[in-house]
Structure 1
Amino acid sequence: MNSLESQFRKDMKRLVLPSILQMLIGNSFSLINTLMVGSLGDTAVAVMAAAGQISFILSMILSAIFGITAFITQFYGKNDFANVKKAFGLMLISSVALTLVVFTLVSLFKAPILSLFIKDEAVVAYGVQYLSVIVFVFLINSIKDVYGNALGSIGQIKLTLVVGILAMVLNIVLDYILIYGKLGFPSYGIVGAAWATLVASMISALILLGYVYGKKYFFNVSWREIFSFNLPFVRKVYGTTLPLMFHEGMWSIGNMLYAVAFGHIGVAALATYQLANTFNGYFMMGIFGFAYAAKVMIGQKLSQDDPSEAIDYARKFTRIALYSSIVVSVGIVLLNPYAGYLFPNLSGEVQSAFRHVMIIQATVMVMFFLNNLWIVGMFRAGGDNLYTMNLILVTTWLIALPLVFAGAYLFHWPVEWVYLMFTLEEVSKACIGYFRYRSNKWARNLVHNL
């Protein structure tokens, strides 16, 4: 085994498992809430799906801002720590500023926003109570997630992993107490799930920041260092990340419109869509870990003058994604008959539709895996964000969305057929993205002139 292959395996093992565990924790927040709220019936799940679209849009736009980590990774790879701090400060300020805008808009227009997905006024009022609490989670995460992503971009994931485990355990306990009214507390229902998430997020943020600054851990930057970036630096970084922000914004709005279409079919269809998204996060955990490792490892290789090692890494990760997706697809098919047992209080209509949707997911899982690896793990590592923006405009807005809306509004197809149209986004994205992956045009050094 040559030294390059040995180093590849060593770095991959070091990065993949902690990342998968972190994704497990993150997805568990959503799954635990869905499982517990699912006991309240289809309506509660639909409310959480509608409110979740808002946080999803924000998280996707923020993930574009977190695209600045591509610079952090490459600066760190060449030991340029002054610019690491500049990039971190710019990312933190951008995240908080954007979240404050979204917080204000959502606080002012909660009911109209929820009415996009749900037509029943009583259900909308129920959702307003939930959203009134969840909106404060946005502010907390706008700071906490910047530190978490920055640490992850240089391969330091252990702290966020430990904090995430603590937050998940706390979230489970508080869900049980506040949703069902245990230990002397009243039963808050779905609003209890919101309070549980808020408290768990607040405590986990305090622990993370307390450790970073108390122990002088990575990114224990001062106020002066946070604002150390200058206008030429901002122009260079934003010149690369703005297309990614537009990419994530358009993609997340597209996903919100998918939810609108499923909501038009009915509460049961929207609940099915929510379950499908929740479980898809679990099915994708493996590739998220490899995509994270690819972003760090390829990004550091791209800071060198010769991109050949980065391209070699890309080929290795692609083979891993292909084989992993086949294993996951088989697992989904085997688990499918037992899916309904997790949600005994949901209607038979939702349980039946969800099982059918799982089969559709198993069929196209290879596309989900390859797209995540290529876009997140490779294209973003090289700052190839203009291409991914155009890719989203074509596959989401010109292919999948028109088909989903046609199925829901014109042809009145059942939820399974509409979901099949939804998956054509991933199919078309993989078919088109393959040629970009093979061209190696994404393999760019972002920091050679900074």
Structure 2
Amino acid sequence: MFTGITPKASNPKPFPLFKRYTREFRYNITLSVPVILGMLGHTFVAFADNIMVGQLGTAELAAVSLGNSFVFIAMSLGIGFSTAITPLVAEADGAGLKEDGKRALKHGLVLCTVLGISLFGLILLMKPLMYLMDQPPEVVVLAIPYLDLVAFSLVPLIMFQAFKQFSEGLSQTKYPMYATILANVLNIILNYLLIFGSFGFPKLGIVGAAIGTLISRFVMLAFLWILLNKKKKFHFYVTGFNFKVLENKVMKKIINLGFPSALQMFFEVGIFTAAIWLSGVLGKNPQAANQIALNLSSMTFMFGMGLGVAAMIRVGNQKGLRDWGELRRIAQSIFFLTLILEVGFAILFLVCRFWFPTIYLDVDDITNQADNMEVIALAAQLLLVAAFFQISDGLQVVILGALRGLQDVKIPTGITFIAYWLIAFPISYYLGLHTQLGSTGIWIGLLAGLTASAIMLYLRFNYLTRKLALEAAGSSE
């Protein structure tokens, strides 16, 4: 049995307060690092894309931002839905029920495939919205052909997510990382060849970046399936599927977990997408600056996402064992580790906020020098705000992962809606479009929403786990 459960210490002597939590750091880091590296790989490719596309001009960079804003919304639904597989597999693993883990993978894979195809079709139908969003016309013209190809890449990506979430549910986080690293290396190579037309390849600009993304995601899916299929320890889980026989009970359970989880991610990605659109109303330079700050923030956010997966796995294991005291201690240990890490990122953003934006643009480009300098100055202002929301952003995603491990998804969905759309969006809209703050005002709204989300989600986790522990104690008496 694969398990993410650490053995209890044989020494009954109580641990000092901090050691109760810090002794879990090593295992939590070991579990989360492959996830973080895999997610960072995706973000690093976007980082490399932005640097390469940024050399073409600020309009091209804004076009990639606009096109990806549609894809990110659909991707959030697909990835959020697929996270339902992990707690089900982790709980089955903790309880020693291998058949239940296999059922979760089979039914999850079917649902993810259908969802990926559906989201691709939905994006194609939504393309005309670009002309109605008050975006710069030259940006829209560039964004549409880019969007067509990147939207299709959602199909293999969401199918990949089904296998990834299954593997992570068994605490085997390194295999999806291998597939992601391979795909990302391929993506960067293809992007370089096709964006600039190097080594005899056609010069396709941002369409070349889209082709690289599409090919690499198909390779990523194929590689992970082959890898899992060849590993003996996965043989029982990934072979002998009969897709003609689907159980309504299992389908319903995944949908009941997956749909609220998809909405949670949709609400958060949606508010950052709204920030892209609001920045576009201010002009192509604010939109390009927003893309730079968003890309940098996304890279640090992946650390929180990885720790959130670790929280989901370990909480799911303890749920299978019904050990609520250990569940609280382990989850709080991950929260504490996240806090320490995110404070470090906040300091990094504060110190390097003027230098980071210069990585994305050619500061020696005389033709576009005025635009480039404006974008760098705007991005530095946004990174100042981003430094402060590192802490709340990291904590909210890790606490959300712990709640998913508990399979508590409905109330957290309501919390994320309130935080992002009843708190963050009105503030971003007013400060961004109706005050002199502009782009900075948009990001102040994001800070307010993320902080509200972190506080409310923690209160929910604390209430729920205390209640479960008390109920368990009462039933044992």
Do these two structures clear the TM 0.5 threshold for a shared fold by scoring above it? yes
* 2:328 counterpart SS class: helix
Letter in structure 2 aligned against 1:222:
G
Check the 8 A contact 1:57/1:252 in 2, yes or no.
yes
Structure 2 unmatched ranges of 5 or more = 1-7, 12-19, 363-370, 470-477
Match of 1:231 in 2: 248
| 1:223-372 correspondence to structure 2 within 5 Å | 223-224=241-242, 226=243, 228-345=245-362, 347-372=372-397
Match of 1:18 in 2: 34
1:283 Cα offset (Å): 1.9
* 1:203 counterpart SS class: helix
Letter in structure 2 aligned against 1:17:
V
Identity across the alignment (%) = 21
> Pick from 207, 220, 239: which aligns with 1:221?
239
Check the 8 A contact 2:25/2:337 in 1, yes or no.
no
1:116 Cα offset (Å): 4.8
1:49 Cα offset (Å): 1.1
Match of 2:400 in 1: 375
In structure 2, C-alpha distance between the alignment counterparts of 1:29 and 1:303, rounded to whole Å: 37
In structure 1, C-alpha distance between the alignment counterparts of 2:262 and 2:23, rounded to whole Å: 33
**CA displacement, residues 142-169 of structure 1 (integer Å, 9 cap, x when unaligned):** 2122111211221112222222222121
Match of 1:448 in 2: none
In structure 2, C-alpha distance between the alignment counterparts of 1:444 and 1:11, rounded to whole Å: 25
* 1:440 counterpart SS class: helix
In structure 2, C-alpha distance between the alignment counterparts of 1:410 and 1:336, rounded to whole Å: 25
Deviation larger for 247-256 or 18-27? 247-256
In structure 2, C-alpha distance between the alignment counterparts of 1:203 and 1:380, rounded to whole Å: 29
Report the CA distance shift for 1:135/1:261 in structure 2 as closer, same or farther (over 3 A). same
1:443 Cα offset (Å): 8.2
* 2:171 counterpart SS class: coil
Q: How many equivalent residue pairs?
A: 442
* 2:83 counterpart SS class: helix
Letter in structure 1 aligned against 2:286:
A
Report the CA distance shift for 1:407/1:116 in structure 2 as closer, same or farther (over 3 A). farther
**CA displacement, residues 23-65 of structure 1 (integer Å, 9 cap, x when unaligned):** 2212112111111111112111111111111221122112232
In structure 2, C-alpha distance between the alignment counterparts of 1:244 and 1:101, rounded to whole Å: 18
In structure 1, C-alpha distance between the alignment counterparts of 2:221 and 2:254, rounded to whole Å: 27
* 1:119 counterpart SS class: coil
Report the CA distance shift for 1:138/1:285 in structure 2 as closer, same or farther (over 3 A). closer
1:288 Cα offset (Å): 2.7
**CA displacement, residues 420-445 of structure 1 (integer Å, 9 cap, x when unaligned):** 12221112112323322322349879
**CA displacement, residues 226-257 of structure 1 (integer Å, 9 cap, x when unaligned):** 55542233333433333323333344434333
In structure 2, C-alpha distance between the alignment counterparts of 1:13 and 1:419, rounded to whole Å: 30
Match of 2:418 in 1: 394
* 2:219 counterpart SS class: helix
Report the CA distance shift for 1:133/1:389 in structure 2 as closer, same or farther (over 3 A). same
Match of 1:79 in 2: 96
Is 2:440 aligned against 1:416? yes
Match of 1:126 in 2: 142
Report the CA distance shift for 1:56/1:338 in structure 2 as closer, same or farther (over 3 A). same
Match of 1:164 in 2: 180
1:400 Cα offset (Å): 1.0
Is 2:193 aligned against 1:180? no
* 1:384 counterpart SS class: coil
Check the 8 A contact 1:384/1:442 in 2, yes or no.
no
In structure 2, C-alpha distance between the alignment counterparts of 1:396 and 1:158, rounded to whole Å: 32
In structure 2, C-alpha distance between the alignment counterparts of 1:338 and 1:7, rounded to whole Å: 37
**CA displacement, residues 183-222 of structure 1 (integer Å, 9 cap, x when unaligned):** 1112111111111111222222222222223445624233
Check the 8 A contact 1:241/1:383 in 2, yes or no.
no
Check the 8 A contact 1:86/1:228 in 2, yes or no.
no
1:121 Cα offset (Å): 3.4
Deviation larger for 205-214 or 321-330? 205-214
In structure 2, C-alpha distance between the alignment counterparts of 1:308 and 1:419, rounded to whole Å: 38
> Pick from 176, 193, 209: which aligns with 2:225?
209
In structure 1, C-alpha distance between the alignment counterparts of 2:80 and 2:466, rounded to whole Å: 17
In structure 2, C-alpha distance between the alignment counterparts of 1:222 and 1:107, rounded to whole Å: 35
Letter in structure 2 aligned against 1:401:
F
In structure 2, C-alpha distance between the alignment counterparts of 1:290 and 1:353, rounded to whole Å: 31
Root mean square deviation of aligned Cα: 2.4
**CA displacement, residues 379-415 of structure 1 (integer Å, 9 cap, x when unaligned):** 1111111121111121111111112122334336421
> Pick from 431, 442, 455: which aligns with 1:431?
455
Match of 2:475 in 1: none
**CA displacement, residues 76-133 of structure 1 (integer Å, 9 cap, x when unaligned):** 21121111121112211111112212212223442x1333556333432221111121
Report the CA distance shift for 1:433/1:254 in structure 2 as closer, same or farther (over 3 A). same
In structure 2, C-alpha distance between the alignment counterparts of 1:155 and 1:443, rounded to whole Å: 27
Match of 2:367 in 1: none
Letter in structure 2 aligned against 1:373:
V
1:9 Cα offset (Å): 4.7
In structure 2, C-alpha distance between the alignment counterparts of 1:129 and 1:101, rounded to whole Å: 19
Letter in structure 1 aligned against 2:415:
L
Check the 8 A contact 1:212/1:220 in 2, yes or no.
yes
Report the CA distance shift for 1:336/1:150 in structure 2 as closer, same or farther (over 3 A). same
Check the 8 A contact 2:432/2:441 in 1, yes or no.
no
TM-score norm. by structure 2 comes to: 0.86
Report the CA distance shift for 1:32/1:108 in structure 2 as closer, same or farther (over 3 A). same
Letter in structure 1 aligned against 2:430:
A
